[in-house]
Chains A and B, each alone.
Chain A
Amino acid sequence: MAFVLEIEGLTKRFGGVTAVNSVSLRLAPGRIHGLIGPNGSGKTTLFNCITGVERPDAGRVLLGGERIDRLRPWQIARKGVGRTFQVTRVFPELTALENLLVVTRGDREAAIARARELLRFVRLDGLRDEYAGNLSYGQQKLVEFVRMLMRDPSLILLDEPAAGVNRTLLNELLDAVRQLRDQGKTVLLVEHDMKVVMGLCEMVFVLDHGEKIAEGPPGLIQADERVIEAYFGR
């Protein structure tokens, strides 16, 4: 099977601290993958290495068989990797609609139509002319989510989508993720909320102190001794 994303022996150090230590993992197409682990286990650093925000000290990142670990973040984004951030990063002084329009080129009317369609998808079309900075945190999170979809990415990285979101909104978001999976997109999400991970993901990777200590389907992961010790045990 061809993997969408392959990470081989990836290591990232900050000064004397090894944030990610020789981690390897592979993402299968059309699946939802979870990345879990205690605080400071290296999940966000791994995300940053995939998206080019950080440059790994060792190891390789392959997207569809092609190395991307030396590319700039915008180049990786254009290759079809979309991401959201742990703390939502909308462009506050741009309207919700403009947040989505920034990446489009060519026919302006068509771009607006597509952006509004995505805003309707998360029921924010009515707020399209509001500055993103004036929206609630949950609404900003949705804007960020659909903004990421404007490029129609094939690989979607979500950094703690459930954090700071109420139940209703969360369920909508999770439904949206499933829909995207059904469209054939590959998803990798970092999440603290175990219920979300276990209910949504088909494959889970566990990081602890920068190392991958387990991987497998949610059921097996929950029974894994090392995972229980590192994660659930505390």
Chain B
Amino acid sequence: MTRKLLPALVVAAVALALYPAYGTGYGIRAMLQIFMWVALAGSWNLISGLTGYVSFGHVAFFGTGAYTGAILIATHGWAWPPAALAGGVAAGLLALVIGWPCLRLKGPYFAIAMLGLNEVLRALVSYFEGLTGGGNGLSLPTLYASVQIYYAMGALAAAVVAATSLIVTSRFGLRLMTIREDEVAAEAMGIDTFRHKLLAFLLSAIGPGIAGALTARDQGYIEPLSVFPLAITVTMIVMALFGGKGTVWGPVLGAVVLFVAQEIVWARYPYVHPLLFGAIIVAVVLAMPRGVLGLLQVMYRLPRTI
């Protein structure tokens, strides 16, 4: 199905690649944000949308990537591209450490472990002040690289979508979905669900890790509250759910629509929008569990692999 969309995708990619040459500063920043949310929501979708194991702490990977990248750049003088990749690696390692004990078990253990992870990382960042700057934060040397970061974040978003598309159309992806559908039956079929979950979780952590490092470079300054807020987790969950969890393009749709809505409408009522996000989660779970794209798939009998 994605193959049929290919011409449109190429046009979109070319347009987005040319955009920095013509766009305004604000426009480039906004697009950068959208890329970031596509990468984050799409990554959350890989574990939670496909296997049904809900991660309530995906921002932990974003923050881990941000600190890893920032420390490597500020303290060790790394260039930002390898530092960004290192952020992804660090986030992936964290996913293995958390996933190893928590993904063995069925039930809500994983969800709650992820819920608590964020607080723990914040505490650790504050504790290891020498390394992280603690509550004072960490400043990065000045660098004007917004356009490069734009391309890097765009490539990351594209990579997450492409990876999702490959997974969803593969038998590996089918096996991930059997975990969501019926884990007991999946095991009875000989599927090593633990390894599948762990691998999906690992993949889902790398994107946010890279995005965190890129964001740290882009903003030039990070502190615990700016890279570990619960709001980032909430936002990626809302976007993936609204667009359609378990689909390829749902998180993209959710990220674009909700980001634009946030910029245009809710920016005027800043305190209302987190409340609305909570309400959207409730409404989607109860009224539209497949999200917008899932609904379209059912209505127009579109393939699931879109």
| Docked CA distance A85–B177 (Å) | 19
Q: List 6 tightest A-B contacts by C-beta distance, closest first.
A: A77-B190, A73-B187, A91-B181, A89-B185, A78-B190, A74-B187
* Residue numbers in B under 8 Å from A83 (CB-CB): 188
Interface centre among B174, B178, B181, B188 (most CB of A within 10 A): B188
A77 to B192, CA, bound (A): 10
Flag whether A92 is at the interface (Cβ < 8 A): yes
B178 close to A94 (CB less than 8 A): yes
- Is there an interface contact between B191 and A103, defined as CB atoms closer than 8 Å? yes
Distance between Cα atoms of A148 and B182 in the complex (Å): 15
Closest to A133 in B: B181
CA–CA, A101 to B173, complex, Å?
11
A73 to B304, CA, bound (A): 29
Give the contact-size bracket for chain B: 10 to 19
Instruction: List B168-207 residues whose CB lies under 8 Å from chain A.
Output: 171, 174-175, 177-178, 181-182, 184-193
Mask of B150-180 contacts with A, CB within 8 angstroms, 1/0: 0000000000000000000001001101100
B175, A102: Cβ atoms closer than 8 Å: yes
Chain A residues within 8 Å of B304, by CB: 93
* Set of chain A residues within 8 Å of B184, measured between Cβ atoms: 53, 73, 89
B177 touching A51, Cβ below 8 Å: no
Report which of B181, B189, B192 forms a contact with A151, defined as CB distance below 8 A: B189
Q: Does A98 contact B (CB under 8 A)?
A: yes
**Is A195's beta carbon under 8 Å from chain B?**
no
CB-CB nearest in chain A for B290: A93
Chain A residues 43-84 with CB under 8 Å of chain B are 51-53, 72-74, 77-78, 82-83
Label chain A's interface by main secondary structure.
Answer: loop
CB pair A73–B188 under 8 Å, yes or no, is yes
State the CA gap A150–B190 with chains docked (Å). Answer: 11
Contact flag A102-B187 (CB < 8 Å), given A74-B193, A93-B177, A94-B177? no
List B contacts of A108 (CB < 8 A): 171
Expressed in whole angstroms, the Cα–Cα distance for A53 and B304 within the complex equals: 31
A105 interface hit (Cβ, 8 Å): yes
Q: Can you pick out 9 interface pairs between chain A and chain B where the beta carbons lie within 8 Å of each other? A: A53-B184, A72-B192, A74-B190, A85-B185, A91-B178, A91-B182, A93-B304, A94-B181, A147-B189
Contact digits for B37-56, partner A, Cβ 8 Å, 1 yes 0 no: 00000000000000000000
Q: Which residues of A contact B182 (CB under 8 A)?
A: 89-91
Q: Is A104 an interface residue (CB 8 A)?
A: yes
In whole angstroms, how far apart are the Cα atoms of A148 and B178 in the complex?
14
**Interface hits, A115-162 → B, CB 8 Å:** 147-148, 150-151
A78: B residues at CB distance < 8 A = 190
Residue A93 contacts which of B175, B181, B186, B188 (CB distance < 8 angstroms)? B181
Q: B171 to A105, Cβ gap below 8 A?
A: yes
CA separation between A133 and B178, bound complex, in Å? 13
Given contacts A74-B188, A90-B185, A103-B191, 10 further A-B contacts (CB under 8 A): A53-B184, A72-B192, A73-B188, A77-B188, A94-B174, A103-B190, A104-B171, A147-B189, A150-B189, A151-B189
- Complex Cα distance, B183 from A74, in Å, reads 11
Q: How far is the CA of A51 from the CA of B188 in the complex (A)?
A: 7
